[in-house]
Amino acid sequence: MQKHTSAAQRVMTWLATAACAVLVAGCASTGGSYPPAPAEASSNSYNYMVGPGDTLSISVWRNPELSAVVPVRPDGKVSAPLVDELVAQGKTSQQIARDVEKALSKFVRDPVVTVIVTNFVGSHGEQVRVVGAAARPQALPFRHKMTVMDVLIAAGGLTEFAAGNKATIVRAVEGNKRYSVRLDDLVKRGDISANVEMLPGDILIIPQGWF
């Protein structure tokens, strides 16, 4: 009778262990209690907003002496020939061109200005951050149609002990709403359905696994 009881206990223990393993695997694959991140997030109407650290190429038609390549200072302003203390941060290149035209109209008749962003850093809201168990946690300039795979490539991938399927995206444009992402499925299993789009201001948080 005792042998039968011991065998039954071993079977129950094995079933309990298996159930726990299935439960843990299920939690890892779903990334916790947050809803999955939508596959598509960006829209075709996205316009890049200039920020500190960006470089602008300002071209004034028929006035090469007024053209210049200028950096956006930490205070978000730029200075160019005949243009002082112009606010560039938080504006598109087209908006900055119109502001430069307005400033130059005091000195030049009907100026035609083109502004091109030649080096991208972006303001805080135009960056994507990756923190936690990434090889190189960092802030990245957002690009239209940027995906979580793009972020992982730039960050050097996951560390050895990263809990990739428990990673989350904090989406600033949606009031810091959290979404789950399946980084292990994407990187280790090649599941392209886990390669979701990012939005400017997103924070990708990759937790450390316990085992």
DSSP string, 134-189: BSS-EEEE--TT-BHHHHHHHTT-B-TTB-GGGEEEEEGGGTSEEEEE-HHHHHHH
Q: Which residues of 102-127 are buried (b: 16+ CB within 10 A; e: fewer)?
A: ebbeeebeebebebebeebbbbeebb
pLDDT tens, residue by residue, 148-191 = 999 999 999 999 999 999 999 999 999 999 999 999 999 999 99
Per-residue pLDDT band at 33 (split at 50, 70, 90): confident
How far apart, in whole angstroms, are the C-alpha atoms of residue 95 and residue 104? 14
Residue 44 pLDDT > 80, yes or no? no
The 10s digit of each residue's pLDDT in 49-75 is: 999 999 999 999 999 999 999 999 999
pLDDT for the residue 135: 97
Q: Which runs of consecutive H residues, i.e. helices, occur in the chain?
A: 2-30, 93-104, 148-154, 183-189
Q: Which of these, 182, 189, 176, lies nearest to 147 by C-alpha position?
A: 182
For the domain bounded by 36-46+123-211, which CATH number is listed? 3.10.560.10
Quote the mean pLDDT of the chain: 87
User: What architecture is domain 55-119?
Assistant: 2-Layer Sandwich (3.30)
| pLDDT tier for residue 6 given thresholds of 50, 70 and 90 | low
Q: Where are the domains of the chain?
A: 36-46+123-211, 55-119
- Which two structure tokens, joined as six digits, stand for 10? 């071993």
Question: Average pLDDT in the 104-115 region?
Answer: 96
DSSP state of 14: H
Distance CA 141, CA 123 (A): 9
pLDDT tier at 14, thresholds 50, 70, 90:
very low
Distance from C-alpha of 46 to C-alpha of 124, rounded to nearest angstrom: 16
Using pLDDT thresholds of 50, 70 and 90, give the confidence band for residue 209. confident
Q: C-alpha dihedral over 34, 36, 38, 42, to 10 degrees?
A: 50
Please compute the mean of the pLDDT values over residues 5-31 and round it to a whole number: 42
For residue 24, the model assigns a pLDDT of 37
The percentage of the chain sitting over the pLDDT mark of 70, rounded to a whole number, equals: 83
Query: Per-residue confidence at 123, pLDDT binned at 50, 70, 90?
Result: confident
> What is the pLDDT at residue 26?
41
Percent of the chain at pLDDT > 90 equals: 75
